[in-house]
Structure 1
């Protein structure tokens, strides 16, 4: 009797388990269908925002990666097995374009050039991450693409060949796309474990883990390949354990063949949020407007670490809404709404300024003649938070604001970012243990290099946008000082100094000089316009423009030393001078700071060289002298002899 009872109980449990599994299976399949519809919505949005580039990224790229023909970019010789994006033969949007692809590369073959799957190494999926296909995508957005593989299926040679193929495809795309494309070859197991050392190669090292994965799940577009299991492992009626979804996925590979386990994401530790905030603030020093949203987002994570993650909230919103065409929420709009709702009790004036920053960052133009899907999505959003019509019209005219108004706006952005960072540092003052000490040192030095005032240092201009639409500039000599001001704003002085070289270095370093947009008023000095243009070009050629984010991290762990010197001889002096009257020195150090010194006494110039030579090594020296001056060769030789006593000179043009 006991055996019969036990058998009956086991049978009931088996039926119960089978029922649970069937219910789970229905949930996963239903959610998969919704995700695919949402993914098509994102692709349509991307296509509307960047018609030509999106066509190559969404459809041509997976096809090129899956073929190996000498006519097609990415061809690799001596390959044992082709690479193939999972299930590409079922991608109707790609297959219907294949004839056009073959025509583009002059392939006269009516048959598909895709090889059978069993003869190829699989690429599990290609995914975008970030702003593409959202309202935050702009003309200056780049496209980060994760190419995911199971590295256990690849030997060293195959992995190297795939890397080579990707590099060659990227080279071809770089020559044809307006949008910069960055490829990151990712191992599935690394993504599961949140190991993004190879993915986020720009990071400080100790500060990027789950934050990046949260952004991936919230913003990814599946270009081609497998659907992340995480995206469909959700049930509106009850909490669904991700491990249960994994077991179900593993139990029926023929049913869930198009899903991939990239790992769960349950929470983000305060230490990680703080570390990511450090890194984001570092980026904000060069691109402040782009960083405001992410800084506020990370601050939100820190202030409410136990709150449901944004990616979870976004997934629930997508999977639990009525499925109507074009009814899906854009992740860029969703993130902005989440941040604004969280900070709705902030000082109204600050919140209004943040709204203006978001408006400019997203580069929308509401109430304009042409309303794209981007404007249609943004209209209700900005109305909802009180950005009135008059303010919107004012922001639409931002490019025609006076120079001084634009710069003031940029300075407010920097002040806001510093305030946000101070709040973050205060919140996280007890959680910095997992952030490497050297990362904190690097950030401190970068802050100093960008913001700290030092004698003879060229200050960094706070630009509200990456590039200002600059008016023509006027250079004048007034009361023994050189001045530069914009033609449309006489009251705004861009730079003023006795030393003309300093003024020119300021323009070049802050990327304010453009050929044909600088004129000079008549003056009693020997400065000639052509020589001014020549020097500006030389400064740009030697030093480039300010970009602290491009400085190698290790530089900030070293003592300050000079890396480049440009010695300028007798600039703006009478052209027939045969002796050295003035020596101007533009100096760049290893922290990305630019300095300008001017000497009229040779003794002081020698003392200056002695001081910087003591702490400098591997310094690169350049010289500049007026090209057509009768004694230019003699003056250059004398300056080189002076400098050679302290630095090893190499012949340079």
Structure 2
């Protein structure tokens, strides 16, 4: 994107329609670039799915995937399929021909947006397509039922093309007041995280078709006057109501949302801690700034207005990382920062060592190399992370300590934040207590408990050969203990190696081995 002057609209001085059009173009250009990156990481069939979705919501044709009945709502605002989409549709169904619709046809689909990891640093082969379908609030219950069936049918079709797609129906009017499908928040993470979900939408969503967000046109310094500002834009006809989609503003996030989001990520973190580390830390950053929270969506918007839209620096994962890095450096917590860096590196999952170097240099790999160079990681550290699939007990135990420490820290932070903000309702209080017990049950060490070592840290702890030996217990003279070593060791070699696990009882040691898949059945 070429660099030009910052745009600073001022209501009192009057606003130029050309300036609003220029702003919209900047956001659209960024979406287009992100979408191009998303396509790079998809197979040909997956690319077809993504490119055809707007057409399938625009026309209701019995020969096309997703057809339910003649009465299913169809028509995307301001959308006309391009030659490429039509050619793609005809490859699927040879007898399909597109007829432009009559003058002023109904357009109940107001906007289509792509969410999730596609187009980001963390896009992987198995990344889902999470698609928001924003629709006319006046659709009847029958219309909505038809649209849901269409979405389900398109999910099945996408699966047949090798893509995992999920469609979320969004009524903008209900969304603004905090009402929406529970499904949208994902797996029962509660309906309380409205603004955090909106923050994520505004900084990560890729526009695919339809109206564009009203939020794009409101400068950061006017966010607190969002209602007044947008009313002026509409009433003075700087923009038309049918051009924009209003999902609300980001002027304030209630403190209860940080507790809800933190609780949810901690629950998930017990099972797969790496995935939760980045989100937990971002929640902590936001909560620590309350009530003057600098949301990432606001930073994103500020950069676009300033025309500093560096595609790499505005990547959703890079933005989250930069924000956390800033916070932890200011607090002087280098160990936590290193854990965040490892979590990001493993999430991206593009090995930078070994024969992979000779593969094509994708933009993701180049960006990851740039980050790793900033972090001053050496070859040895990279090789260790790249060999994660071969990690065994020692490495996993070390990593687990760091992850458990982080989860416990987050729990203490959340509990303290809830107290100081007096933001604990009865549900949060109960959840905090349940979570405390679950963390204790999962990670606390105590006599007789068989410790679970590997919550998603490495795929397989099984050792090819192990040595079990009963030896004198140096800490308790006169007693013996059972020791477990990796490899096949003779009696005189045992002195020179440290065991990977000790136990007073053989059965306890074997149970631990079986529980952690160090031995198989």
For Structure 1 versus Structure 2, the TM-score category normalised by the shorter chain is 0.7 to 0.9
What is the CA RMSD across the aligned residues, in angstroms? Answer: 3.8
Please say if 1:460 is aligned against 2:442. Answer: no
Match of 1:188 among 172, 179, 199: 172
Residue aligning to 2:135: 149
CA distance in 1, matches of 2:502, 2:85: 53
Q: Which segments of 5 or more consecutive residues in structure 1 lack a partner in the other structure?
A: 1-16, 519-531, 533-653
Whether 1:292 aligns to 2:277 is yes
Q: 1:52 and 1:156 mapped to 2: Cα distance?
A: 37
Aligned 8 A contact 1:149 1:185 in 2? yes
In the alignment, does 2:20 pair up with 1:34? no
Gap change, CA 1:149 and 1:414, over 3 Å in 2: same
CA distance in 1, matches of 2:245, 2:433: 39
Distance (Å, rounded) in 2 between the aligned partners of 1:103 and 1:482: 67
Q: How does 1:504-583 map to 2 (within 5 A)?
A: 506=515, 512=517
- Count of aligned residue pairs for this structure pair: 483
- In structure 2, relative to structure 1, the CA distance for the partners of 1:175 and 1:482 (3 Å cut) is farther
Q: How far apart are 1:397 and its partner, in Å?
A: 3.0
Q: 8 Å contact 1:48–1:373 — kept in the other structure?
A: no
Residue 72 of structure 1 aligns with which residue?
64
For the 8 Å contact 2:482–2:509, the answer to whether it is kept is yes
Provide the secondary structure at the position in 2 that maps to 1:418: helix
Give the 3-state SS of the residue equivalent to 2:358 in structure 1: coil
Contact 2:55 2:85 in 1 (8 A): no
Shift, 1:157, TM fit: 1.0
TM-score normalized with structure 2 length = 0.80
Deviation of 1:193 (Å)? 2.1
Inter-partner Cα distance in structure 2 for 1:449 and 1:192: 39
1:365 & 1:412 partners in 2: Cα distance? 22
Deviates more, 1:121-130 or 1:35-44: 121-130
List alignment gaps of at least 5 residues for structure 2: 1-9, 471-480, 490-496
Report the Cα distance in structure 2 between the residues aligned to 1:292 and 1:323, rounded to whole angstroms.
Answer: 27
Task: State the partner residue of 1:319.
Answer: 305
Shift of 1:470: 5.3
2:370 is the alignment partner of 1:380: yes
Q: How does 1:168-567 map to 2 (within 5 A)?
A: 168-177=153-162, 180-198=164-182, 199-205=184-190, 207-234=192-219, 241-243=225-227, 244-249=229-234, 251-252=236-237, 255=240, 257-305=242-290, 306-321=292-307, 329-344=314-329, 345-366=331-352, 368-370=357-359, 371-431=361-421, 432-434=423-425, 436=427, 437-448=429-440, 450-451=442-443, 459-465=451-457, 468-469=459-460, 492=500, 498=507, 506=515, 512=517
Q: How does 1:20-99 map to 2 (within 5 A)?
A: 20-23=13-16, 25-52=17-44, 55-77=47-69, 79-89=70-80, 91-92=81-82, 95-99=83-87
For 2:114, which of 124, 128, 151 is the aligned residue?
128
1:488: how far off? 10
Q: Tell me, in whole angstroms, the C-alpha distance in 2 between the residues paired with 1:221 and 1:143.
A: 11
For residue 191 of structure 1, give the secondary structure of its aligned residue in structure 2: helix
Structure-1 separation of matches of 2:194 and 2:217 = 22
Cα shift at 1:335? 1.7
**Contact in 2 for aligned 1:65/1:166 (Cα 8 Å):** no
Contact persistence 1:46–1:132 (CA under 8 A):
yes
Residue 57 of structure 1: CA displacement?
A: 4.8
Are the structure 2 counterparts of residues 99 and 143 from structure 1 closer, same or farther at C-alpha, using a change threshold of 3 Å? closer
The answer to whether the 8 A contact 2:73-2:143 is kept is no
CA distance in 2, matches of 1:33, 1:219: 17
Partner Cα separation in structure 2 for residue 323 and residue 337 of structure 1: 15
Higher relative contact order, structure no. (Cα contacts within 8 Å, ≥ 6 residues apart): 2
Q: Distance in 2 between matches of 1:388 and 1:454?
A: 37
1:162 Cα deviation after fit: 0.5
Task: Tell me if structure 1 keeps the 8 A contact 2:396–2:454.
Answer: no
C-alpha contact 2:223 2:250 (8 A) present in aligned 1: no
- Residue number in structure 2 paired with 1:597: none
C-alpha distance in structure 2 between counterparts of 1:418 and 1:463, whole Å: 15
User: Is the Cα contact below 8 Å between 1:143 and 1:182 reproduced in 2?
Assistant: yes
Larger mean CA deviation between 253-262 and 120-129 belongs to: 253-262
TM-aligned CA distance change 1:209 to 1:99, over 3 Å: same
The answer on whether the counterparts of 1:66 and 1:114 sit within 8 Å (CA) in structure 2 is no
- Say which SS state the counterpart of residue 430 (structure 1) adopts: helix
User: What's the CA shift string for 1:425-468, capped at 9, x where partnerless?
Assistant: 22332333346244334434543553357998764333354x61
Give the Cα–Cα distance (whole angstroms) in 1 for the partners of residues 150 and 223 of structure 2.
43
Partner deviation per Cα, 1:213-257 (whole Å, 9 max, x = no partner): 111111111122221110232279x87942313431355387564
